[in-house]
Amino acid sequence: MNCCSEIVLLAQLFSKDLWVHITQGTNVKDKKMKKYFASFLFGFGLLACQSHAGELKIGSWGGNVRSGPSTEYPKIGILKNGDPVVLLKKQRPARDGFNWFKIAYRNGRVGYQWGGILCGFNNKVKGTYGLCENDNRSTPRSYECSDLNQFRSKEAKRKTKITFFVGQTDNSFKIYWLDYNGSKKAYTSLEPGTNWTAETYISHPWVVYRVSANGNESCHSIVKGKKSSSQWLLR
User: Residue 179 to residues 131, 185, 202, 216, 219: CA-CA distances in angstroms?
Assistant: 41, 7, 13, 23, 17
User: Residue 78 to residues 85, 113, 121, 193: CA-CA distances in angstroms?
Assistant: 12, 10, 19, 21
**pTM, 2 dp:** 0.56
Superfamily of domain 58-120: SH3 Domains (2.30.30.40)
4-48 tens-digit pLDDT: 333 333 333 333 343 333 334 444 445 445 444 444 443 333 333
Could you give the CA distance from residue 86 to residue 43 in angstroms, rounded to a whole number? Answer: 28
Which CATH number does 141-234 carry? 2.60.40.780
41-76 tens-digit pLDDT: 433 333 333 333 355 788 999 889 999 998 899 999
Other CB atoms within a 10 A radius of the CB of residue 232 amount to 25
Distance of CA 64 to the CA centre of its chain: 24
How many Cα atoms occupy the beta-carbon half-sphere of 43 within 13 Å? Answer: 6
177-232 tens-digit pLDDT: 999 999 999 999 999 888 899 999 999 999 999 998 889 999 999 999 988 888 89
- Where in the chain are all domains bearing CATH 2.60.40.780? 141-234
- Where in the chain are all domains bearing CATH 2.30.30.40? 58-120
Q: Which residue type sits at 74?
A: P
